[in-house]
Structure 1
Amino acid sequence: MMKEFVQIIITEEFESVSNKQQNSLLPTEKQLISEVLALYGFRSEWQGKRSNGGMNNSTFVLHTSDEDYVMRQYETHNDQAKIAFEHGVLTALSNTDFELHSPTPVISLSSSSREDADQEFKESNHSNEENRQTYQIVRDHITGTFKIVTLFRYLKGVNPVWDSPDQLLPLGRAAGHLSTALAKLKLELEPVYPPYYRIDEAYPLCTPERLLRMCASPPETLEACTDELRQLQDELPGLFKALRGMEQLPHQIVHGDVNASNVLVDPEGNMSAILDFEFATWDLRVMELAVPMSDMLTMDKSEEWMWQAQANLVQGFREEVELTADELEAIPQLILLRSLDVVMHFISRMLEGTDKPEVAAGQIVKLKQRMDWMQRNEEQLRQLLMK
């Protein structure tokens, strides 16, 4: 049944703020949001603004007379099978004992007026239809293409800023608690993304072979990181080789991208939510620890600060998850694999014209920095992991 809302009575002060928010939206964005809200059954006035939604989608924060929502328009992940799996994970997770908040997709209404667009989109995408009720398919008024749009209930909190290494202890606990909850999920849907270690399957535009050719003969577009590419030519084959045999380690559903940008803390600094399950897939259990460990290596912090933070991160995770000796042994290679995956991801986006070369170049420099760090510190890292 369509939701009937009382018309919002806006005070002069709030109206001023509202107008500023509305002015931050393009007319086409306002039109799209109004259409989407109608498809979800909202009839009241709304206010909204653009938000930082990462590099894979467009995100808007919306205020209605009912409550606040986040509207996500999928861009590079505009694929029904990927979104169906993400939403399936979120729905199943909400039925576990996971204590932190996670995004809750709003159930949409069936709309016969969208049937033609839906059918055309399905014929072009050939994607999984399960969980269709948690998203809508709309036409982009500028490009004429179809986009998938979802409403999530707004979660309060802010992204943490790592001021103290002690803050990484609760992050590790949160990642471990999430890992324990995800291990209980049983989904009929097949994940779209391959495991991290099957990187040869993940990026058709930037295969390992093509990346090595770029290292041997850096393209002009990546001139800013020519030296790093040439040095990586000799180092990457060893990393690719180290990935063999990873399929023997414990697997489960993983979030795959736990970091400061994908968690929220409350005003007291306590972990309150984990966001952005777009990359959730069936993968190595230990990747849930290796990913945040990798992301910390190029932070602008002292060595002493970083080592204490890494120790806290590992301790927090292992309080929740009992890792095997083989999993701990694999972490140094998986830390580098995370960075390599990011490089191949952004080179692919560069090749398809989504991002400028500077983005990929920056990630290539970070990969080289991480590999240099690992060469100097792998033994110390292993000692930390084996405590």
Structure 2
Amino acid sequence: MFNSMQIRVKLYAFRFAASLFRTELRWTQSRYTSISSVTVDVDPIMKKDKVSKAMKAYLERAKAHNEFMSIQNMEFKIGKRHLANMMGEDPEAFSQDDIDRSIQYLFPSGLYDKNAKPMMKPPEEVIPQRKAAEFNETGRPFHSMFYTGRPNYCKLLFDIVENINNLNEVEDQRLRKHLTPDQTQRLETSGYDWQSKEALEKILLEDISDTEYDNFASAISRLIHLPYSYRQKSFIDKYRRPLLIKTDSDQIPKPQLDENGRSYVTVYECLRKSARGDVTVIAPGKGTIKINGHDITYFKDIQAREQVLFPLIFANMVGKVDVSANVEGGGFSGQAGAIRWGIAMALRSFVDADIIDRMRIAGLLQRDYRRRERKKPGQAGARKKYTWKKR
């Protein structure tokens, strides 16, 4: 064991050796000043930045996507040039409208579904858009909600809740001052609906489930029903759409005058199931209804009579116009549906735009193409099956 005196001697010897080393180092630096001023380049291999595995995988996917898009763009330009040569047009001045017109001329299709028809669009419009890099080279995410799995969706819900809290604070402040919201700026909810699940996924660039979409719809519905929701109109309009486009005034037929000077409108091709007919609405009138020369008792069933009267009741035109209809084919249900659609289409010429929009939302202006489903072979009916027996 060392005593205290030996430890002190060893400590003094260590300090003395350290002072000698510092003196030798200063002497060496002063002697070789020219050598110390020379800079030495470090091997660039030693200065490699650390890149996370996630970033490497993303860069590989992005590189493959960019190569794929470049090939698709090149093929689109080649196809566009060939199509212009086939049509005898200048390839440099060949626009997208010219492409669509040429496709419709060269490849006529009787398919009704828009997605089933042949088309030729730029790859950027057909191929889904990719999300940008969500993290830096070290793997640190840019988005604060990256680890939720759906950062854009969660950020949308966060913004909705934040707007709700802000509007509640505004309402509390104005209540203390005995102020009420401006009813003239209240947002209109009728005639609008929220973006569909597919449209919302395109906006967010993320896939969401039905439950998550229902949560979004309930949250933003709560926001729009607040008294001061008009303060967030720009935010709300991003995620809602009109149910139906407003009717163009040019599509509504103009009334003609008969020999008595009364206005009338005739609607042809009134269809429902196997029934075909035409309907004439005359204004002003006394409310008389003629169906194949008979009154409303032409239909024995009460439900069929209600179908004929429903457009007049909905537009508040009972007793104000006369109706004359000729219909043939089908049964009473089909004939009543055909007359109902004809009356609704003719009433557009005698009511204002607000009632037309209400009729459109109620479905009065939409044709009913439903038909009876046929019986299938090997089955008891259209959907009914025979009882299976083992023996």
Pick the TM interval, shorter chain. Answer: under 0.3
TM-score normalized by the length of structure 1: 0.21
Larger radius of gyration: 2
Q: Could you say which structure has the greater relative contact order, defined with CA pairs below 8 angstroms and 6 or more residues apart?
A: 1
